[in-house]
Structure 1
Amino acid sequence: MSSASQQSDVLAPRLDFGGTTPYDDYIRASVLSGLQQTRTEDPGEMAFLVTSQVMELWFALLVHEWQTAAAALRDDDLPAAMDALGRSLDELQALNASWQPLARLTPAQFNAYRPALGDGSGFQSAMYRRLEFLLGERSVSMLVPHTGTPEAHAELQKALNEPSLYDEVLHLLHRRGHPVPQAVLDRDVTRRHEADPEVEQIWAAVYADPEREPDLVGLGEALTDIAEAMWRWRGDHLMATRRAMGSKVGTGGSSGVAWLSKRADVLVFPELWTARSRV
């Protein structure tokens, strides 16, 4: 067959739809591309808006994945939970890569559009707050910034009163016969999880005999991967802020770098880290 005949057999994509394309109907690309409303003449502001909005989408996806994992753990469906956790780790890598467009901002470049933020701060992100609630980083005070938006406040209040992803892990360990203290199982879920020495010992025992319950070792490692990726995200946030504004007060009124530095030191799922010293 001639090359001309072969080329004629290649079907071109359909072009005539008579209205919106099925792609835009499903992906809503036209909606997404219309969300960047700059407030200054600085060309760098567009990168800040797009990067921040992309991060919000990753936050939403991670919340979806960890809610899926938590529900699977409640049903003792560890394979389904592991699938969701595995997807979320890939998504966390993409989230972390989202810092690249902002990672090398100089103070002058950031100052060119910083006034447009006013009192705005990523700290006020309702979706990021839901993400942290799922990781066990929670406090009733974190609802305060959202009192003026009833729908967001109600969603956060609901999330705050539900067990975190790690709470579901601890209940799974309990159902599998591990001696999770009753005080840990019955704790006030609206408060941040604090490391417990008996839970630490459970993880140490799981890791010390990996052949006994290899699926729990796998679960522990998946959670550790997620915790490490979150630690890296916070570290990248800290470094980007340090380069762009030094030690100046943050846009939301916080102490900026000092506040982020304190948060960057926090590792979620604490017993998974301390248990390693006991194996």
Structure 2
Amino acid sequence: MPGQSEVSTPKLSFGPADEPEVGTPYAKYVRLDVLHSLQHPRSKVDAELSFIISTQVMELLFDLLRHDWTTAQHALREDDLTSALAALRRGQYTQDVLVSSWDLLATMTPLEFNAFRPVLGEASGFQSSAFLRLEFLLGNKSERLLAMYQGVPAVHAELTAALESPSLYDEVLALLSRRGLTVDVTGGPARYRPTEQVEAAWRQVYTDPALADLARLGESLLDTAERVTRWRQRHYSAVKRSMGAKPGTGGSSGLSWLKESADQDVFPELWTVRNAL
């Protein structure tokens, strides 16, 4: 399949010269000196610190979720459903924490947010490369979004590779094909579009007892997809509550874009096949 080559997850490494000179073994291990030095509010508004820490936590969880989904991809390529299901389950716990993380921001009032919003300038969560990487893994691909990273060659190259590589769902469909189901697997840089052929394949999976292990995979994927929707809905609600329908920072359309995203199903045939079961 085109773009089948693996894209390795970047690893951060610190040599002896990078080790903090003082502190407990715990502080050295988790790099507390670095971690607690990354918050730099640009205003005197208390809510800004909460905003910064919440978004930083989300970014770290994006990295963890990427690791979980990439691990699942590799297991699927090896036809190792046990390991793939375990990785998806770990990812679902990560997703649960991500969804709950909106609780830290959901009660921010418009007055609080608007008090420090000017210091954000053109910064927007829409610009998160880690989040975009997750969207590409889900099959929600868009080449035009790479333009914002033209000035960061390493990030642009990584996202280009992700765009051209199989998504998590591509790997699932490739597995179905190897198991004898009629599925065209294309992958590549285009956004995934649902087909009747894939829906028919899932209908066979759910109705053939010999394919029960694939049905378990389908249900686990739905658990993942449902959590993606919950995340999007919480994002939409938090923004609607804190800033209403104002245009987003960084040039995004704000609330209307978030609403459209929240209404979009992930792994769509796993939802529509329920109409025929």
Determine if the TM-score, normalized by the shorter chain, exceeds 0.5: yes
Q: Which residue of 2 aligns with 1:264?
A: 262
1:136-151 superposed matches below 5 A: 136-151=139-154
The SS at the match of 1:247 is coil
Ranges in structure 1 where 5+ consecutive residues have no aligned partner: 1-17
Asked whether 1:56 is paired with 2:55, we answer: no
Q: In the alignment, which of 150, 163, 166 is matched to residue 166 of structure 2?
A: 163
| CA distance in structure 1 between the partners assigned to 2:107 and 2:46 by the alignment | 15
> Cα RMSD between the aligned structures?
1.1
Q: Which residue of 2 aligns with 1:110?
A: 113
Q: Which residue of 2 aligns with 1:43?
A: 46
The SS at the match of 1:213 is helix
Amino acid at match of 1:116: V
Q: CA deviation at 1:255?
A: 2.0
| CA distance in structure 1 between the partners assigned to 2:213 and 2:74 by the alignment | 17
The SS at the match of 1:113 is helix
| CA distance in structure 2 between the partners assigned to 1:188 and 1:205 by the alignment | 22
- More displaced, 21-30 or 65-74? 21-30
Q: Which residue of 1 aligns with 2:6?
A: none
- More displaced, 40-49 or 249-258? 249-258
Amino acid at match of 1:218: R
| CA distance in structure 2 between the partners assigned to 1:177 and 1:124 by the alignment | 41
| CA distance in structure 1 between the partners assigned to 2:253 and 2:171 by the alignment | 34
Q: Which residue of 1 aligns with 2:12?
A: none
| CA distance in structure 2 between the partners assigned to 1:272 and 1:188 by the alignment | 18
Q: CA deviation at 1:30?
A: 2.1
Q: In the alignment, which of 243, 249, 271 is matched to residue 245 of structure 1?
A: 243
Q: Which residue of 1 aligns with 2:88?
A: 85
Amino acid at match of 1:163: P
1:136-215 superposed matches below 5 A: 136-181=139-184, 185=185, 187=186, 189-209=188-208, 211-215=209-213
Q: CA deviation at 1:215?
A: 1.3
| CA distance in structure 2 between the partners assigned to 1:22 and 1:160 by the alignment | 40
Q: Which residue of 1 aligns with 2:99?
A: 96
Tell me the matched-pair count.
257
| CA distance in structure 2 between the partners assigned to 1:270 and 1:154 by the alignment | 29
| CA distance in structure 2 between the partners assigned to 1:24 and 1:129 by the alignment | 31
TM-score by structure 2 length?
Answer: 0.90
| CA distance in structure 2 between the partners assigned to 1:194 and 1:228 by the alignment | 18
> What CA deviation, in whole Å up to 9, does each residue of 1:89-145 have, x standing for no partner?
011000001000110221101001111111111110000000111000101111111
Q: CA deviation at 1:81?
A: 0.7
Select the structure of larger CA radius of gyration. 1
Q: CA deviation at 1:19?
A: 3.5
TM-score by structure 1 length?
Answer: 0.90
Q: CA deviation at 1:214?
A: 1.8
% identical equivalent positions: 50
Q: Which residue of 2 aligns with 1:277?
A: 275
| CA distance in structure 2 between the partners assigned to 1:32 and 1:221 by the alignment | 37
| CA distance in structure 2 between the partners assigned to 1:152 and 1:24 by the alignment | 29
Q: Which residue of 1 aligns with 2:79?
A: 76
| CA distance in structure 1 between the partners assigned to 2:188 and 2:248 by the alignment | 30
The SS at the match of 2:249 is coil
Amino acid at match of 2:204: A
1:213-228 superposed matches below 5 A: 213-228=211-226
Q: Which residue of 1 aligns with 2:68?
A: 65
